[in-house]
Structure 1
Amino acid sequence: MSFNISVIGGNGFVGSAVCRAAVRRGWKVQSISKSGKPFTTPNGHLPAWTSKVEWHAGDALVPESYRSLLSSTNAVVHTLGTLFDGAAYKTSLKAGASAAAAAGVKGIYDGINGGNPLAKGSPGSYESLNRDTAISVCQTFLSESSPSASLDSSPTKTFVYVSAEDVFRPVIPARYITTKREAESAIQKLCDNASPKSRSVFIRPSFIYHPHFRPISSPVATALSAAGSVHKLLGQLSPINVLSKLAESSEQSSRVDDNPAAIDTPLDSISRAMTIPPIHVDHVGEAVCESIERGDVAGPVGVWEMRRLLGWVEDDGSNTYAKV
């Protein structure tokens, strides 16, 4: 089965992985980004697959700049987002590991100290990149008429939002995950109320790594995996589990059921980081394509479900999977 998809931010880290995976499947792929430039490697090279993608310029917050591009699209994949508040983090990643680390430290400092409240909603903020761009694109996509010859089964439209597992607190400010959850809630409502009803999928990766495109990410992923192994070995004696139990008994959870962006305690987030492994960016791209191709996939798709979509099998009776 073939699809015609639009990837918002297709020249970025995650977006390029989605484009690569879709091209391998023989799908028609177009990328929409502010620059409109094709993806290049850290060395400035153009991979062969980029010649099979249509590269367009468009601003996610300005529907008129890309509306016409969505008229023949079966599925939209929204990959825009930022791990740290502020545009400096994205720029520094391209400058190298030391610059990225410096921007990360600043992001942590700003998060702990509350940041600049006037910056919330600015072009590089969590509110803008993680939430508002996705809602704008989804509204635009759903308002366009369906493709004349839809290649997908009902529902005729699929909107995939690359969200995140809640595994980054307290290192990353809570606004990172709350804006992701706010976007999910708004997108779900938009798709449910669309006519005909459309399908929304929320891909929730953990820490994403790639040894070549993001060299700094590999040692972090290795450290997280090692910490997770120790956590699993200790079981209920793990300090994280002990502290989580104490937090539960003290009723310190901040979750409010009627709040779509409600989150639990930072200890719960740390616990998940110890049990949910990092994921390679290419696996995220493949999982996105699988979720589009399988019409029965909808709602949140975490790392374990992503592995099942990719054909990994449970090998020891727990949440541990091996590729077959």
Structure 2
Amino acid sequence: MGILLEADYKGVISGRESPISGLQRAFLSSKRGSQNPLERKSGEDLKPQEQDGQLTYELMNRDSAITLAQEADREGVKAFAYMSAVAGAPVLPSRYIGTKREAESTIGSEFPRMRSVFIRAPFMYDQSRTFTMPLAALTGAGAVFNSATRGMFGGLLGAGGVKPLKADLVAEALIEALADESVKGPVGVDQIEELAQKAWRKGML
């Protein structure tokens, strides 16, 4: 689970909310998530703590992942994969990638019995979701530019300077990572491609 844009950001884009007020809310340095998921009682639902019940990055990208990992650990699951992200982007609030990294850190430290895998995927596209195709082309151009400038603008571009990958390829890599006991911790773009290639070779045998 996770979200790319919060409701107030979407409201600005769709014209339902004032750009000034909406973007001010979207780019706040922090928002509330749920109650502390590590102190949540077994079976207790996550409860949004924002006054309007908004689904924030803190709730969706961090607390939901920690809660799922907590339940998996209670059930004795041996391997757990979290779909993270390679980086943020200039058009996204810093809390997007910040909450992803917080989830990684908490899951890795709080549930050491479980082999945790964090798939740090770039922008993902698929022909079934047509709006992703032009965005993938734009991101691909950013990756070429980033490579040509030897990463000089990598920090500024964020995920916009990393080669996009097809969603199915990332899914295959994730499944392979769960099956391969040597894979643990953050998995970057190069390793994602290697794992997907390994899965493809297995399928050809």
TM-score by length of structure 1 reads 0.48
Q: Structure 1 pair 109/159, CA: closer, same or farther in 2 (3 Å)? A: farther
The one-letter amino acid of 1:199's match is: R
The one-letter amino acid of 1:127's match is: E
Q: Does 1:173 align with 2:93?
A: yes
Q: Cα RMSD between the aligned structures?
A: 3.1
Partners of 2:120 and 2:189 within 8 A in 1: yes
Structure 1 position 87, deviation (Å): 8.6
Structure 1 position 165, deviation (Å): 0.8
Partners of 2:124 and 2:167 within 8 A in 1: yes
Which secondary structure does the structure 2 equivalent of 1:172 belong to? coil
Q: Structure 1 pair 272/223, CA: closer, same or farther in 2 (3 Å)? A: closer
Q: Distance in 2 between matches of 1:135 and 1:104?
A: 34
Q: Does 1:127 align with 2:58?
A: yes
Which secondary structure does the structure 2 equivalent of 1:296 belong to? coil
Q: Distance in 2 between matches of 1:180 and 1:125?
A: 12
Structure 1 position 285, deviation (Å): 0.8
Q: Structure 1 pair 310/115, CA: closer, same or farther in 2 (3 Å)? A: closer
Max Rg structure? 1
Structure 1 position 273, deviation (Å): 3.0
The one-letter amino acid of 1:143's match is: R
Aligned equivalent of 1:143: 74
Q: Distance in 2 between matches of 1:277 and 1:293?
A: 25
- In structure 2, which of residues 171, 194, 197 is the aligned counterpart of residue 308 of structure 1? 194
* Unaligned 5+ runs, structure 1: 1-79, 90-98, 147-155, 245-266, 313-324
Aligned equivalent of 2:174: 288
* Unaligned 5+ runs, structure 2: 34-47, 49-53, 199-205
Q: Does 1:102 align with 2:13?
A: yes
Partners of 2:142 and 2:157 within 8 A in 1: no
State the 4+ residue runs in structure 1 displaced beyond 4 angstroms: 103-106, 108-112, 116-119
Q: Distance in 2 between matches of 1:86 and 1:305?
A: 33
Partners of 1:208 and 1:281 within 8 A in 2: yes
TM-score by length of structure 2 reads 0.74
Structure 1 position 223, deviation (Å): 1.4
